[in-house]
Amino acid sequence: MDPISKLSELFAEFPGIGERQAKRFAYYLLRKPSGFRKELALQLAELGDRIAQCVDCKRFFEKTTTDLCETCRNMNTDKSVLMIIEKDTDYDVVRKSRSYNGAYFVLGGMIPILEKQPSYVRTGELLERIKKDTESGVLKEIILAFSLNTQGDHTDSELRRILEPTVVGKDIRMTSLGRGLSTGTELEYSDSKTLEYALKNRQ
């Protein structure tokens, strides 16, 4: 296969990118100076070499000597609250709002309504994490923080069903974020004020 087709195939695997757009990316790169392509190739290689996944929250972070990210390592992080979010960019948005100081878990995706659950949705790992936190007695609240759309609602109710047996009888609240967000809002695009309000009004 020629390099243009091969690269287009790779781009077509990106979320939301169709075949035609993938081809456009490949041609765009051909028009850029070779220095740009070299820089891109270098950064792609570095992604694998310098970024690690946190064993506790599954977030990607710049590699250090430990296998925990700075939030999971930080003594000031309130481990009694665990916020479950869909993706890494949601973490950035919540951090930026400065209205939350608890722990996180990145689910990796939303639970689909019809198809089989894709392997990158980490419900098994989440269950393990919650079991660990319940056994140590540290966990007091689980916040489900998903976008206010059909898939977010579905993920919210599915997780409640999945986690219920583990938290039942223990003194753990399960709350949902988003009552302050308007319908259709994606967590990723919420501003800090809205997020702060949604957090205060979680139920």
What is the arrangement of strands in the sheet containing 141-145, beginning at the earlier edge strand?
Answer: 102-106, 78-85, 141-145, 173-176
Interface mask toward Zn ion for 65-84; x: CB under 5 A: ----x--x------------
Interface mask toward Zn ion for 125-164; x: CB under 5 A: ----------------------------------------
Q: Which residue, 64 or 150, has its beta carbon nearer to Zn ion?
A: 64
Q: Which residue, 72 or 139, has its beta carbon nearer to Zn ion?
A: 72
Structure tokens at 184: 């259709």
Nearest distance, CB of residue 67 and Zn ion, angstroms: 9
43 membership: H or E segment, kind and range? helix 34-50
Give the span between the Cα atoms of 141 and 50, in whole angstroms: 33
Interface mask toward Zn ion for 27-66; x: CB under 5 A: ---------------------------x-xx---------
Give the span between the Cα atoms of 7 and 27, in whole angstroms: 10
**Residue 139: which residues within 8 A CB-CB, separation 6 or more?**
79, 80, 82, 130, 133, 172
Q: Which residue, 105 or 146, has its beta carbon nearer to Zn ion?
A: 105
How many residues make contact with Zn ion (CB under 5 A)? Answer: 5
> Which residues would be at the binding site for Zn ion (CB under 5 A)?
54, 56-57, 69, 72
